[in-house]
Structure 1
Amino acid sequence: MAAIMRLNRCTTVKPSAPTWEGCLPLSEIDLVGSMKHIPTISFYPPPSQNWLTSDDTVSNLLKKSLSQALVHFYPLAGRLRWISGSSAAGGGRLELDCNSKGVEFIEAESESKLDDFGGVLTPVTEYHNLFPTGDYSLPIHDIPVMLVQLTRFSCGGISLGLAIAHAVCDGQSAFHFVSEWASLTRSEPVKTTPYLDRKVLGAGELASAPLHDDPTGYYLPELLPDNDHDRHHEVKSDNSEQKSTVETIMLRLRKDDLEKLRKKAKDSGENPPNRSYTRFEVVAAHVWRCACKARKLRAEQPTSLGVCVDTRNRVTPPLPKGYFGCGAFDLTVTGFSGELVSKPLANVACKIREKVKQVTNDFVWSAVDYLKTQPDLTMFRSDSLELCEAPTPKFYYENPNIGAVSWLTLPLYGHDFGWGKEIYMVPGEIEPESSFFIPDPRGDGSIIVALCLQTAHVDSFKKHFYNDIV
């Protein structure tokens, strides 16, 4: 989008009252998967109240309430730092320095109008100027954990872009924070106090003997030699190459389409399920199969689906209410392309269900202990927070694999900062060969599948995505 964007000012917002200062250990679940800031953008219509039309009023309100929210969520005002001074010396392990250095708050204005974006189905690449990004050329201890960008459009509408380091919190915790921030902006009290002690997931403690050699399943299949004709389309580690070879798409699964998929899964398969498959199980199975078809993988090609499982209620006792950190655990489901596309949808959904069922209390603690015993955690990451020390990641999704992250049960909507609820929200960016499942903001039961694929496979994927529903 060619509209002019102006960055007006950047300020640092600190907690409005003194908070605990010191080192907060991170759990092993915090230290794997993505290390970068995860951006989201929420869009709001023009405020109807006259007193909110001033350019400074909204930003001043948000900064004041943000400083109040940071008293409760003070880890967001801190900085990450390497244990032992560097990534190499500490095995890629980080800790959180709660030092109240604050959150970066950017104010911008755009000549665009909300209508220019076209709504929730607009590819996320159109939003690249609407969320802040961390400067990863800096040392980690100089990069804010959280960045905010308030953008005012020419129509009077607003977008609020957030970027929070994934090592500090996952989606559940991030939207908990946003909900409480919105409440404080409306002069209402915090509803659920965040639980900040990560020792409930073994942070900073010694490992016990893991029950399994590698419960994580992070080692992903590679393309077989006969599929090398596709390699010139593949995503490379260089960012410019990624941008030139992948494409983001937003696809809507209407409620009746979703019900057709669920019925198709229930009525087929080798073993009828004892309960209907969930929305996530059938959509993830559908996306995985369509990706295999679009990529024209050989039947004997192994392929993995990466899924994210929330452990909050899978450990004993469950994590405390309001647990603030990463409670979501990544694991992979593996199969062969020929098996996935030739057998009914139910078989693929069942494969996903059975893998997720393995995430029990014993599994989670065994995985944590396994990660504690690893001399270097960088191999379990999809990226790095510090480019000068970034290893070549071994855990990332590329052809023939794909990631699927469900935001279907997260509190994405209803965040009223005093001028009404958002129209819609989107992820600011999607990693190559990954997907997000988002509830349609219209609340009609539809699902938005946000997906980033190699450009050469996009048209074929779209065809299978809709044709294979019936």
Structure 2
Amino acid sequence: MGTSNDHNASPPPLLEDLKVTIHNSSMIFPSKPIERKSLFLSNIDKVLTFDVETVHFFGAHKDFPPHVVNDVFKSALEDALVVYDFLGGRLKMNFDTKRLEMDCNPEGAGFVVASSDYNLDQIGDLDYPNPAFAQLVPKNKGFLKEGDAPLCVAQVTSFKCGGFAIGISTSHTIFDGLSFKTFLDNIASIAAKKPLAVTPCHDRHLLAARSPPHVTFAHPEMLNLSNIPTSCPESNIFEASTEQLDFKVFKLTSKDIIKLKQEAINSIDGPTTTRVTGFNVITAHIWRCKALSCDNNDPNRSSTILYAVDIRARLDPPLPKSYTGNAVLTAYATAKCKEIQTWPFVKLVEMVCEGATRMSDEYARSIIDWGEINKGFPNGEVLVSSWWRLGFEQVDYPWGKPKYCCPVVYHRKDIILLFPPIDGGGDRVSIIVALPPKEMEKFYGLFYKFLA
């Protein structure tokens, strides 16, 4: 376990302004002609209509100063707009089918060249969620045509030291974490003038609903908007919050994770099939901290945790590993707060484990069919999204692997992200949490109390 000094250390001072200057904003287009067509979006894709913003930091490289990276990366993106022919297109509503689709057209992606007045080592801990990192991704997608919304915009920001950051904003409708990692691998291969690392599979009909749709489970983890009175505000877990939020990174060492596993194992009473894995104990630990830190301290209140499960290998037949779209669904576990507080820890781990085990081919197809019939989205108190093992930091560009990759901090208090630490560090994990100040204070206290 980390020392108490590690746990109670004050957050590092954060630069509020990275002094970024935009030098050029332009649209880039496919390097070869592409076929104009409409691309089907699955019921998973069409719920995820928000943008995902990531920043990838690189140290100085004598053969690839930032101005060279600008040209090489821009050229690689232009070639990628051919391989990923939807990437330069736009989302549109098909009024005949009443479905959201991707219009594969050559309208293009966005590309921004910028610089910062700082050296890379002056902007603070890269793995601490500094809201100022938002300056490293394009602020306005419609920078050339008002109201335009490209599906992908990239920004290369150079630092005084010769290091640089590549900020990428993509619509979540087009990639999940695994397919975005494949996209980055392919960009790196194209930039190095090598064959594609993976030939992507763009056939999203593989996750189409059955005809007729057949919902075989209750799906309490989904909120049906048609059942909510119009006078009640809908609470979309993906919506940004307007209230003040504190941001913290909670770091678990390998010893901390072993301690959580041991706590679960020590509370087992009788035979069990529960898999006491790192992810399961971390998710159970987050669940009890989030449930018990809520302002509503009613012991009979139900708390539902959601967590992303990749369904590629769970379907029959399995999806190709190279599937481009969103192939992640939300598993869930639900319990009353008094149960979360009094149950042995292994019971929470068991429920997290059961939620993932529940995600069979039939269960996944049932959720997809549910989305064909109902308008709604995943519904829970908190969603744990793990980027822990995705390997963004392992992508090998011509100028080397990133020093660190991170999401841009966003105002979503109901989504908690798991990320690898800055040095990649084995089984250690960084947990990025955004909560209102009072809840954060409780969450912080519980997080380390349960580790004591």
TM-score (ref. length: structure 2) = 0.87
| Partners of 1:210 and 1:419 in 2: CA distance | 49
| Partners of 1:265 and 1:114 in 2: CA distance | 41
Map residues 118-129 of structure 1 onto 2, 5 A cutoff.
118-129=124-135
Task: Give CA deviations for 1:258-295 in whole Å, capped at 9, x if unaligned.
Answer: 11111111221445543641221111110111122323
Residue of structure 2 in register with 1:102 after alignment? 108
Aligned partner of 1:434 among 415, 435, 441: 415
CA RMSD of aligned residues (A): 2.7
Map residues 196-215 of structure 1 onto 2, 5 A cutoff.
196-202=202-208, 206-212=211-217, 214-215=218-219
Q: 2:121 aligns to what SS in structure 1?
A: helix
| Partners of 1:58 and 1:460 in 2: CA distance | 45
Residue of structure 2 in register with 1:413 after alignment? 393
Q: Does 1:83 align with 2:94?
A: yes
Residue of structure 2 in register with 1:168 after alignment? 174
Map residues 135-150 of structure 1 onto 2, 5 A cutoff.
135=141, 142-150=148-156
Residue of structure 1 in register with 2:282 after alignment? 283
Task: Give CA deviations for 1:195-235 in whole Å, capped at 9, x if unaligned.
Answer: 011111116x74332223x4362239xxxxxxxxxxxxx99
Map residues 301-380 of structure 1 onto 2, 5 A cutoff.
301-374=301-374, 377=375, 379-380=376-377
Contact in 2 for aligned 1:38/1:165 (Cα 8 Å):
yes
Identify if the C-alpha distance between structure 1 residues 118 and 321 changes in structure 2 by more than 3 Å, giving closer, same or farther.
same
Residue of structure 2 in register with 1:464 after alignment? 446
Using the TM superposition, give the Cα deviation of residue 120 of structure 1 relative to its aligned residue in structure 2, in angstroms.
3.8
Q: Does 1:73 align with 2:64?
A: no
Which ranges of structure 1 fall in alignment gaps of 5 or more residues? 221-233, 381-394
The one-letter code matched in structure 2 to 1:207 is: P
Residue of structure 1 in register with 2:62 after alignment? 48
| Partners of 1:328 and 1:410 in 2: CA distance | 13
Using the TM superposition, give the Cα deviation of residue 75 of structure 1 relative to its aligned residue in structure 2, in angstroms.
1.6
| Partners of 2:58 and 2:390 in 1: CA distance | 19
Residue of structure 1 in register with 2:261 after alignment? 262
| Partners of 2:360 and 2:256 in 1: CA distance | 32
Residue of structure 2 in register with 1:225 after alignment? none
Identify if the C-alpha distance between structure 1 residues 348 and 427 changes in structure 2 by more than 3 Å, giving closer, same or farther.
same
Using the TM superposition, give the Cα deviation of residue 316 of structure 1 relative to its aligned residue in structure 2, in angstroms.
0.3
Contact in 2 for aligned 1:23/1:97 (Cα 8 Å):
yes
Identify if the C-alpha distance between structure 1 residues 190 and 350 changes in structure 2 by more than 3 Å, giving closer, same or farther.
same
Using the TM superposition, give the Cα deviation of residue 119 of structure 1 relative to its aligned residue in structure 2, in angstroms.
2.5
Contact in 2 for aligned 1:81/1:141 (Cα 8 Å):
no
Q: 2:287 aligns to what SS in structure 1?
A: helix
Using the TM superposition, give the Cα deviation of residue 425 of structure 1 relative to its aligned residue in structure 2, in angstroms.
0.9
Identify if the C-alpha distance between structure 1 residues 137 and 107 changes in structure 2 by more than 3 Å, giving closer, same or farther.
closer
| Partners of 2:143 and 2:215 in 1: CA distance | 36
Using the TM superposition, give the Cα deviation of residue 117 of structure 1 relative to its aligned residue in structure 2, in angstroms.
3.1
| Partners of 1:268 and 1:324 in 2: CA distance | 41
Q: 2:72 aligns to what SS in structure 1?
A: helix
Q: 1:359 aligns to what SS in structure 2?
A: coil
Identify if the C-alpha distance between structure 1 residues 403 and 24 changes in structure 2 by more than 3 Å, giving closer, same or farther.
same
Q: Does 1:188 align with 2:194?
A: yes
Task: Give CA deviations for 1:350-392 in whole Å, capped at 9, x if unaligned.
Answer: 1111111111011111111121122xx3x32xxxxxxxxxxxx
Q: Does 1:443 align with 2:411?
A: no
Using the TM superposition, give the Cα deviation of residue 27 of structure 1 relative to its aligned residue in structure 2, in angstroms.
0.8
Q: 2:325 aligns to what SS in structure 1?
A: coil
Identify if the C-alpha distance between structure 1 residues 244 and 257 changes in structure 2 by more than 3 Å, giving closer, same or farther.
same
- Matched residue count: 424
Identify if the C-alpha distance between structure 1 residues 186 and 139 changes in structure 2 by more than 3 Å, giving closer, same or farther.
closer
| Partners of 2:238 and 2:35 in 1: CA distance | 39
| Partners of 1:273 and 1:280 in 2: CA distance | 18
| Partners of 2:263 and 2:239 in 1: CA distance | 41
| Partners of 2:364 and 2:392 in 1: CA distance | 26
| Partners of 1:207 and 1:136 in 2: CA distance | 39
Aligned partner of 1:453 among 425, 435, 445: 435
The one-letter code matched in structure 2 to 1:72 is: V
Q: Does 1:5 align with 2:11?
A: no
Identify if the C-alpha distance between structure 1 residues 469 and 210 changes in structure 2 by more than 3 Å, giving closer, same or farther.
same
Using the TM superposition, give the Cα deviation of residue 136 of structure 1 relative to its aligned residue in structure 2, in angstroms.
8.5
Task: Give CA deviations for 1:74-119 in whole Å, capped at 9, x if unaligned.
Answer: 221211111218xxx93xx310111122110111111132223332
Identify if the C-alpha distance between structure 1 residues 82 and 46 changes in structure 2 by more than 3 Å, giving closer, same or farther.
same
Q: Which stretch shows the higher mean deviation, 128-137 or 260-269?
A: 128-137
Using the TM superposition, give the Cα deviation of residue 396 of structure 1 relative to its aligned residue in structure 2, in angstroms.
6.0
Identify if the C-alpha distance between structure 1 residues 146 and 272 changes in structure 2 by more than 3 Å, giving closer, same or farther.
farther
Using the TM superposition, give the Cα deviation of residue 417 of structure 1 relative to its aligned residue in structure 2, in angstroms.
2.2
| Partners of 1:266 and 1:365 in 2: CA distance | 34
Which ranges of structure 2 fall in alignment gaps of 5 or more residues? 1-15, 225-234
Task: Give CA deviations for 1:286-316 in whole Å, capped at 9, x if unaligned.
Answer: 0111122323622111111121111101100
Q: Does 1:16 align with 2:22?
A: no
Identify if the C-alpha distance between structure 1 residues 342 and 15 changes in structure 2 by more than 3 Å, giving closer, same or farther.
same
Using the TM superposition, give the Cα deviation of residue 236 of structure 1 relative to its aligned residue in structure 2, in angstroms.
12
Using the TM superposition, give the Cα deviation of residue 139 of structure 1 relative to its aligned residue in structure 2, in angstroms.
11
Q: 1:77 aligns to what SS in structure 2?
A: coil
Identify if the C-alpha distance between structure 1 residues 451 and 139 changes in structure 2 by more than 3 Å, giving closer, same or farther.
farther
